[in-house]
């Protein structure tokens, strides 16, 4: 596997004409890449130090609107600049685009050059710093699901997003024959990402027609979030180039299963797992038990960071493998948290709540904060759930909708302490804006149901 570019290697490739374009990208609130395309010579001469962007990029929505109510920026303050500071450790080739390299940028205040605290990379870095101060590191991984469609995005948009047809006609979970038919898209995704330094393990068919899963090897939290974000972007671009559409919408049809993004996590001291104790039940150390208890206790408070849109909550349905309860289990996919690697040094906890629309930086930061709080409080972990979590009478539940999730986030003392008051308020405003926008729209469902009969 190739490694990300060094700056010196990039200079050589620019001089030889091998690279002529550098994408300088920040990660926005929605987990998307935003930024500029630099002529490569200008980047290696000057822009590698910094560039600038409008500060509305971290106070916008999926439509790139400028909602009011944000403390960080507004029409009243004139929408000034942020500094985009390239993190040269993230330089990498972009093999699916000719002559192109990419770098991720940290977002800094234009005057002080301090990290903008609500920028997704900064939110995660703050929790990583807490871990390091306690003598720990974390290993994390995300499993990313999405749907692949027969038609292109332009065709689907022209047809107003109706009569959507996935690329396959039947459930393709682990299905080799059907996924062979999709290799024209999926093989380039695996190979281009691998060549870009993203440690892809595999792709597979998921439990619905046209549904795919991409698995990337575990790594440090920041690497994992970077890999997730770049991979999601690449999947869209590569599918587009092949004439197909993809969606990471968690629930694109009421009769189809949703798309998730499970998060695996463990803590380490050097080369030793802080989660493993061979003498304890399931191989779980006392520290791991408190960490998992923290994940469970505070799950309602950080659900917004796992499910940030109105549509996110349509995925949580009984019998869908999308959990509605916060219980933990041993290798049981009906629960919100699943113990993996039981009685081995690879023991870890998988959070199954997050959807494919989550911002990985925010989702992982919130989970680390909850787990660390559980350790600080020395929480006791209840026995694992057995049987069907959907049918259990003794399971607490995550918020049922975005409004309840925003309320839980707003009232979270834990997240205000861990992430910062301003950060929590910033993302509460983002949640409220999504609700306000949805509530003013008349949906096709309402019209079809009531046009004649109301």
pLDDT confidence of residue 1: 47
pLDDT confidence of residue 334: 78
CATH class of the 127-420 domain in this structure: alpha beta
Taking only the tens place, the pLDDT of each residue in 384-422 is 988 776 776 777 889 999 999 999 999 999 999 999 999
Phi, psi (rounded to 5 degrees) for 404: -70, -35
Considering only CA atoms, which of 59, 82, 55, 124 is closest in space to residue 432? 59
CATH 3.10.20.70 fits 7-115, yes or no: yes
pLDDT confidence of residue 130: 97
- The residues that bridge with 202 in the sheet, in sequence order, are 215
Range 81-87 average pLDDT? 96
Kindly report the CA angle at 263 between 149 and 295, in degrees rounded to 5?
A: 140
Q: How far apart are CA 403 and CA 400, in angstroms?
A: 8
Q: Is the pLDDT of residue 76 over 90?
A: no
- Which range is least confidently modeled, 2-6, 19-23, 32-36, 436-440? 2-6
Q: Is the pLDDT of residue 186 over 80?
A: yes
Name the token pair of 224.
């994992």
pLDDT band for position 315 (cuts 50, 70, 90): very high
pLDDT confidence of residue 139: 98
pLDDT confidence of residue 278: 95
Is residue 334 a contact partner of residue 388, using CB atoms and an 8 Å limit?
A: yes
Range 192-200 average pLDDT? 97
> In the chain, which segments carry CATH 3.10.20.70?
7-115
> In the chain, which segments carry CATH 3.30.590.10?
127-420
Taking only the tens place, the pLDDT of each residue in 88-97 is 999 999 999 9
Q: How far apart are CA 57 and CA 213, in angstroms?
A: 29
pLDDT confidence of residue 318: 75
Range 59-66 average pLDDT? 94
The segment with the largest mean pLDDT, out of 173-177, 420-424, 442-446, is 420-424
């Amino acid at each position: 596997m190739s490694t990300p570019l060094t700056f010196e290697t990039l200079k050589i490739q620019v001089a030889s004409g091998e690279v002529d374009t550098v994408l300088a990208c920040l990660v926005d609130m929605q987990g998307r890449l935003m930024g500029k395309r630099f002529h490569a010579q200008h980047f290696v001469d000057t822009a590698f130090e910094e560039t600038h962007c409008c500060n509305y990029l971290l106070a916008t929505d999926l439509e790139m609107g400028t909602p009011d109510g944000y403390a960080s920026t507004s029409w009243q303050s004139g929408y000034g600049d942020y500094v985009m500071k390239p993190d040269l450790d993230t330089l990498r080739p972009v093999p699916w685009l000719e002559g192109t390299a990419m770098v991720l940028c940290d977002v800094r205040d234009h005057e002080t050059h301090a990290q903008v605290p609500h920028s997704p990379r900064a939110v995660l870095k703050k929790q990583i710093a807490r871990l390091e101060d306690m003598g720990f590191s974390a290993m994390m991984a995300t499993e990313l699901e999405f749907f692949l469609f027969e038609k292109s995005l332009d065709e689907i948009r022209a047809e107003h997003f109706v009569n959507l047809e996935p690329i396959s006609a039947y459930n393709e979970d682990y299905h080799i024959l059907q996924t062979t038919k999709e290799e024209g898209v999926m093989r380039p995704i695996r190979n281009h990402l691998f060549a870009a330094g993203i440690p892809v393990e595999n792709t597979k068919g998921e439990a619905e027609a046209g549904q795919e899963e991409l698995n990337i090897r575990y790594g440090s939290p920041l690497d994992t979030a970077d890999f997730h974000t770049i991979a999601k972007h690449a999947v869209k671009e590569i599918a587009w180039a092949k004439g197909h559409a993809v969606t990471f919408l968690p629930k694109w049809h009421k009769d189809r299963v949703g798309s998730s993004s499970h998060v695996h996590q463990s803590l380490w001291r050097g080369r030793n797992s802080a989660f493993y104790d061979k003498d304890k039940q399931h191989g779980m150390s006392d520290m791991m038990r408190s960490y998992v208890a923290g994940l469970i206790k505070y799950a309602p408070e950080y659900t917004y960071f796992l499910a940030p849109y109105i549509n996110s909550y349509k995925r949580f349905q009984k019998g869908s493998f999308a959990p509605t309860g916060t219980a933990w289990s041993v290798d049981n996919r009906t629960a919100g948290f699943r113990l993996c690697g039981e009685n081995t040094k690879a023991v870890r906890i998988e959070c199954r709540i997050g959807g494919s629309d989550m911002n990985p930086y925010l989702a992982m930061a919130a989970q680390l904060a909850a787990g660390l709080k559980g350790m600080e409080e020395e929480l006791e972990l209840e026995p694992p759930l057995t049987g069907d979590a959907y049918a259990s009478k003794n399971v607490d539940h995550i918020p049922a909708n975005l409004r309840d999730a925003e309320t839980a986030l707003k009232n979270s003392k834990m997240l205000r302490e861990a992430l910062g008051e301003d950060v929590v308020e910033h993302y509460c405003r983002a949640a409220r804006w999504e609700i306000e926008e949805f509530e003013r729209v008349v949906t096709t469902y309402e019209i079809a149901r009531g046009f004649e009969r109301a």
